[in-house]
Chain A
Amino acid sequence: MTDVQARPRRRGQGSPTGGIGESPSRPDGPPKVQGRFAFSSDLEAEGMLWGRTLRSPHPYARIVRIDIAPALAIPGVACVVTADDVRGAATYGLISADQPVFARDVVRFVGEPVAAVAADHPDTAQRALDAIVVDYVPMPALVDPLGAPAAAPIHPDGNVIRTVRIRHGDPDAAADVVVEGSYDVGMQDQAFLGPESGLAVPDGEGGVDLWVATQWVHHDRDQVAACLGLPAGAVRVHLGGVGGAFGGREDVSIHVHACLLALHSGAPVKMSYLRDESFLGHIHRHPAKMHYRHHATYDGRLVKVEARLVLDGGAYASSSSAVVANAARFACGPYRVPNAVIEAVAVRTNNPPCGAMRGFGAVQVCFGHESQMDKLASRLGIPPVELRLRNAMRTGDVLPTGQQITGTAPVAECLRAAVSHPLPGPAGDGVLERPGGAGRTADPHRVRRGVGVAVGFKNLMYSEGFEDDSEARVRMTDGAAWVRCAVAEVGQGFVTIAGQIVRTMLGVDTVVLEPADTATAGSAGSSSASRQTWMSGGAVYRACRLVADQVRSALARELGLPPEELTLTDDGRLTTADGEVDLTVAQAAGGASFEATAVHKHKLTQALDDEGQGEADVSFAFAAHRAVVDVDIDLGLVRVVQVATGQDVGKVLNPLQVVGQIEGGIAQGVGLAVMEEIVVTDGLVRNPSFTDYLIPTFADAPEVLATCIEQPEPGAPFGAKGVGEPPTISSTPAVVSAIRAATGVDVTRVPVHPWDLV
């Protein structure tokens, strides 16, 4: 044994604040409140031109002729590009490249890009668009998703984007009671506030730099480079400031167009959609038509669920094939269901393309399965909460895909927490506290209150064999750390979390996040699927561990100790068993520099087989919601008074940001329940504005009461699950359940309109 008295003694100060479990303020907060944070629509460059996009006015038409000469004749117009100018791949897409950069012979939805112009002023660019002559021959549009599979193909890839079938257990199993219902979900929009925008700058050597608001710079880079016919290295995608995303920035929008215009004109080109164009220029949440049959015993045990789901993918595939698989996998809800027969189809129509939005397929089916659970509870005379508790999934249970849940699954805990919150008191006298608010004052005697509950769940990370690794590099010098990770910060607060991880792991005070781009960092994967805290947080964590290991070795050499005698603690301290050495990693490093790069991978997942069986998912997050509504039964107006929730979060890394995700996600779920719908008639979006597409305002947003269920998830960095999507999943059916309770009306479609209730 070494003589204790002879051992080196090094004791440092405590660890810095702002680590894991605290709520340090966002590093991008000050510039954002000052108006100086550079969103993608704020970018400018010397000699910059303005780009605009010409879009199809028809849902389905043949293009006979495009004449750009009148546009080119306008002074101030630098160039016009069409399909003829696309030198690389003519099409792109998130999963399959089926969407043209510009339509050549045929347009398949209202809003499909046909040409783009660059000019010296936005007004000049608009006049140039107006001057382009396109001769169309309209064709009968396919707008009925149920008729799509049998209709004549509107695309070479056919009208069925993907069918997912799940056969689990005994498809002929029978039970005491059967409840059946059909449910529809309208088309919801992400409605992020920052419009699609960016700046493309030619590098003078044939390549281009693109600053753009996006969710995944590397996937953008690959798609843009392919369409430009350039090697990936010649296209550098930089994250422009992102004004919200919610799935709507997974697909490319201005990207290829702006780069083409920049390369053709030789000048920087800025593009920034106006709101009406934004509604046409990104994908939406899939409308769904769902038919369910639930079989259960008299004592309320689910025996079998049958579901047929049709999602309208619109004209191009986007992420439909993944969304429809999610809808199928989560169709039964977070319940033990021994037998299931599910068929989910994503079809192609001449409606606006649909793809990713917060909740990604789980939102639509949650409205279906939770409506069914209410119906079953009513049939059996079992309270809705009790029925759900009797069937609540827990660790060890097997999903309809055959995958066993090995992580945490606190469904019952979420539900109990949601319903344990105090109910709101009666509405006050103020008109703003009545349905309809000041505009349409309700008669208080004709207002009915209702309460409803719902439970939902969703996968974290990408699924079905997709390897969405993330890479991070951490450099530490003089008590400060620099993090290089190409995560798209879209508002979710990864920039805060990354700093917390580094402060906890290394004991540094100052953490600097370097800009996210494709040129200086490997892929971090997409800011979607509630995955960045786990995946990129995991990569930052691992890089910090590697740095700490280097420091441990250096310190051991310095102190003449065997490295194994220095322990790296969970809170980023290097200690000896006798306590004589106790330093943060940063203190131990002194003035020396250390750097490490790490990649975080999640466990491998599997594709689904023909029976829909397979270990398709990495992890799951659950939530329950209880909604309280007041309904004016004469006018059909709904006020969502309160939403209480219990949410499975694994571990809270930042309490303030978790609350922000929960409150914001619930607002979007409430929006889908009572107001948000893109109205499409014969393929035409009728309400592409915030005047007519309503999202919850301050006056509409309910009081939110939230309990986080902390059960650390095995395999997750710090045990934390992603928290962004669950709030948006079961809040919608909880509100609808409350509306049913208040009115007695059997509502089967969201959003619920006044005319559905009176």
Chain B
Amino acid sequence: MNGPKAAPYELVVNGTVRRVDGALETESLLRVLRDRLGLPGAKNACEQGECGSCSVLVDGVLVCSCLELATAAAGCEVTTVEGVAPLGNPPDAEPHGALLSDVQQAMVDAGGVQCGFCTPGFVVAIHDLLGRVPEPTTLDVREALAGNLCRCTGYGRILAAVEQVVALRTGAARRDSEKVDSEAGGEGGTVS
């Protein structure tokens, strides 16, 4: 026999409660997401925690889903690449109609995507990094993303994508704060 089957359990994936029934106890979160919940965004490049292709957030913490037992994540909030785009963007929307997150858009625009196998993991990891460190230095980026392997790009365009997101977000934040200053009677005036 294969390993014992787990009792049915629930994962909260991208805000939706998903019941997992009939899985083996030994199945990783990556396997369950991919093979049982129809979410192939997390990728299976090494299945030993070295490449980051399977990156997801579990209760807000970036993990390699290949190293997490799915049963251990029962009841946790799991965010996959399918769930990083803005609300109102159904994960099963047609590609041409779907909205992209700023990180996703920057990866496309800046040339951070070639074969694309590492890309979902990078998207999740970049969202995590910029959520924690809004204005990282180049070395911050290189260190934070060193757990995500890419064989195609040499990382140059991925770095450019991160910089694009930072510029957009800080530009937007600056505009917002200056707008607040202006509304509060500051001298800055409006900034286009």
Contact = CB atoms under 8 A, between A and B. Distances in A.
Contacts of B159: 698
Contacts of B2: 76, 121, 123-124, 127
Interface in B78-110: 80-82, 85, 91, 95-96, 98, 100, 103-105, 107-110
Contacts of B153: 660, 663-664, 667
Interface in A16-37: 23, 25-26, 28-37
B158 A698 contact: yes
B139 A432 contact: yes
Interface in A554-602: none
B95 A30 contact: yes
Contacts of A690: 45-46, 48, 50-51, 149
Interface centre among A29, A665, A691 (most CB of B within 10 A): A29
Interface in A606-646: none
B156 to A, nearest CB: 4
Given A26-B108, A34-B81, A659-B156, A244 B115 contact: yes
B146 interface: yes
Contact of B117 (A34, A193, A704): A193
B151 A698 contact: no
Contact of B43 (A23, A33, A39, A76): A39
Nearest to A242: B115
Contact of B47 (A28, A29, A241, A275): A275
Contacts of A243: 43, 45, 115-117
Contacts of B3: 123
A243 B45 CA distance: 9
A37 B95 CA distance: 9
A191 interface: yes
A698 B155 contact: yes
Contacts of B45: 193-195, 243, 275, 690
B90 to A, nearest CB: 11
A13 interface: no
Contact of A492 (B81, B114, B142, B156): B114
A438 B140 CA distance: 12
Given A33-B107, A34-B95, A667 B115 contact: no
B42 A193 contact: no
A667 B149 CA distance: 12
B41 to A, nearest CB: 2
B154 interface: yes
Given A31-B95, A127-B2, A695 B151 contact: yes
A676 to B, nearest CB: 11
Contacts of B85: 34
A28 B95 CA distance: 9
A659 B115 CA distance: 15
A193 B158 CA distance: 16
A246 B48 CA distance: 23
A668 B43 CA distance: 22
A696 B148 CA distance: 10
Given A30-B98, A34-B41, A664-B154, A432 B50 contact: no
Contacts of A31: 95
Interface residues of B, number: 63
B124 to A, nearest CB: 9
Given A193-B53, A666-B154, A667-B155, A42 B117 contact: no
Interface in B28-55: 34, 39-48, 50-51, 53
Nearest to A74: B1
Contacts of B11: none
A121 B96 CA distance: 35
Contacts of A691: 48, 50
B157 A663 contact: yes
Given A272-B44, A660-B157, A33 B108 contact: yes
B62 interface: no
A40 to B, nearest CB: 10
Contacts of B42: 35
Contacts of B44: 41, 195, 272
Interface residues on A, range: 35 or more
A689 B152 contact: no
A491 B112 CA distance: 11
Contact of B152 (A438, A664, A666): A664
B114 A664 contact: yes
B146 A697 contact: yes
Contacts of B150: 193, 698
A471 interface: no
Given A123-B2, A124-B2, A689-B46, A25 B109 contact: yes
Contacts of A482: none
A192 B151 CA distance: 6
Given A123-B24, A656-B111, A244 B142 contact: no
A244 to B, nearest CB: 4
B141 interface: yes
Contacts of A433: 139
Contacts of A664: 114, 151-154
B164 interface: no
Contacts of A665: 154
Contacts of A696: 154-155
Nearest to A27: B95
A599 to B, nearest CB: 28
A430 interface: yes
Interface in A197-240: none
B57 interface: no
Contacts of B118: 193
A698 B142 contact: yes
B48 A192 contact: no
B123 interface: yes
A150 interface: no
Interface string A167-203: 0000000000000000000000011111100000000
A490 interface: yes
A33 B53 contact: no
A246 B104 contact: no
A42 B40 contact: yes
Contacts of B41: 34-36
Nearest to B124: A35
B145 interface: yes
B183 to A, nearest CB: 36
B143 interface: yes
Contact of B116 (A28, A245, A272): A28
Contact of A123 (B26, B105, B115, B151): B26
Contacts of A33: 81, 100, 103-105, 107-108, 113, 116, 119-120, 123
A190 B117 CA distance: 14
A32 B113 contact: yes
A245 B80 CA distance: 26
A191 B151 contact: yes
Interface in A690-744: 690-691, 695-701, 704
Contacts of A241: 116
A25 B43 contact: no
A29 B120 contact: no
Interface string A649-670: 0000000110110011111100
Contacts of A26: 108, 113
B157 A493 contact: no
Nearest to A126: B2
B139 to A, nearest CB: 5
5 contacts: A29-B108, A32-B119, A493-B114, A666-B154, A689-B46
Given A34-B100, A123-B24, A691-B48, 20 more contacts: A23-B111, A25-B109, A28-B113, A28-B116, A33-B107, A34-B81, A34-B98, A35-B120, A36-B95, A39-B116, A190-B151, A194-B45, A243-B43, A660-B114, A660-B153, A660-B156, A663-B156, A664-B151, A689-B50, A690-B50
Q: Which 3 A-B pairs have the closest CB atoms?
A: A35-B41, A491-B115, A32-B116
Interface of B: 2-3, 24, 26, 34, 39-48, 50-51, 53, 80-82, 85, 91, 95-96, 98, 100, 103-105, 107-111, 113-120, 123, 139, 141-143, 145-159
